[in-house]
Chain A
Amino acid sequence: KNEVEQSPQNLTAQEGEFITINCSYSVGISALHWLQQHPGGGIVSLFMLSSGKKKHGRLIATINIQEKHSSLHITASHPRDSAVYICAVSLSFGNEKLTFGTGTRLTIIP
């Protein structure tokens, strides 16, 4: 069983819809990262969080440490949001090694 599980694996939505991508992990962590990867492109860090909630533009990330669960929300989705979203965790403080989920492929239809 993967230590980091994402759902759904694939998500197709209409432009303007509210998007939620989920990430669950099975061990204690020091931080959780949300990453974005466009087709054929590199990987960009969106958020790093260890508690609560962060917001950047139309993206919101939340984490519940007790439930070992995080969500990434996209409001007013746009075709340019189409990408693979990857959840990753740092397992211990001072240890930057990441364990990754397999990603959620998001497609936003105009």
Chain B
Amino acid sequence: NAGVTQTPKFQVLKTGQSMTLQCAQDMNHEYMSWYRQDPGMGLRLIHYSVGAGITDQGEVPNGYNVSRSTTEDFPLRLLSAAPSQTSVYFCASSYSYPSGGSYEQYFGPGTRLTVT
């Protein structure tokens, strides 16, 4: 298994540009999420999905869009990049047990994004 993969590893954007960060997992996990990591702050949840066709907002969703058309893929779209979106982005996945319980989360290698 490749686990959770993310592309690209690095990206530089100009203010106002749009782009999509790709995330894929091959473990048949229902739950997928996107986090951003900024210096001095814990990881913060942007958007998450509990299955194909189902997405919801996390703590910091503004400026980002997601969709989940398949179990494997969960792309994150930056609609109009701003310098405040300069960050490291991590995708994660896990099983999700509808009636309770928690599962280990698997993280991708991250995408380092700089917006100038």
- Residues in chain A within 8 A of chain B (CB atoms): 2, 4, 30-31, 33, 35, 41-45, 48, 50, 86, 88, 90, 93-94, 96-103
Interface on chain B toward A: helix, strand, loop, or mixed SS?
loop
Query: Is B96 interfacial (CB 8 A cutoff)?
Result: yes
Q: What 0/1 readout, one digit per residue, does chain B (70-89) give for beta carbons within 8 Å of chain A?
A: 00000000000000000000
Query: Is B25 interfacial (CB 8 A cutoff)?
Result: no
Query: Is B101 interfacial (CB 8 A cutoff)?
Result: yes
- Interface magnitude class on chain B: 20 to 34
Query: Is B40 interfacial (CB 8 A cutoff)?
Result: yes
In the A-B complex, the 6 residue pairs with the smallest Cβ-Cβ separation, listed nearest first, are A100-B42, A31-B102, A93-B100, A43-B107, A42-B109, A100-B43
- Chain A residues, CB < 8 A from B90: 42-43
Interface on chain A toward B: helix, strand, loop, or mixed SS?
strand
- Chain B residues, CB < 8 A from A2: 42
Q: Are A42 and B108 in contact (CB under 8 A)?
A: yes
CB distance from A106 to the nearest CB of B (A): 16
Q: Complex formed: what's the CA distance from A85 to B34 in Å?
A: 19
B40, B42, B50, B105: the one contacting A4 at CB < 8 Å is: B42
- Residues in chain B within 8 A of chain A (CB atoms): 31, 33, 35, 40-45, 48, 50, 58, 90, 92, 94, 96-110
Known interface pairs A41-B109, A48-B102; 16 further A-B residue pairs with C-beta atoms within 8 A, sorted by A's residue number: A2-B42, A4-B42, A30-B102, A43-B92, A44-B107, A45-B104, A45-B106, A48-B103, A48-B104, A93-B102, A96-B48, A96-B102, A97-B58, A98-B45, A100-B35, A103-B42
Contact A97:B45 (CB < 8 A) given known A43-B90, A43-B107:
yes
Residue of A nearest to B107 (CB): A43
Residue of B nearest to A90 (CB): B102
Q: Are A94 and B33 in contact (CB under 8 A)?
A: no
- Chain B residues, CB < 8 A from A93: 99-102
What are 29 A-to-B residue pairs whose CB atoms are below 8 Å? A2-B42, A30-B100, A33-B104, A35-B107, A41-B109, A42-B107, A42-B108, A43-B110, A44-B107, A45-B105, A45-B106, A48-B102, A48-B103, A86-B42, A88-B42, A88-B43, A90-B102, A93-B102, A94-B98, A94-B99, A96-B48, A96-B102, A96-B103, A97-B33, A97-B48, A98-B45, A100-B35, A102-B40, A103-B42
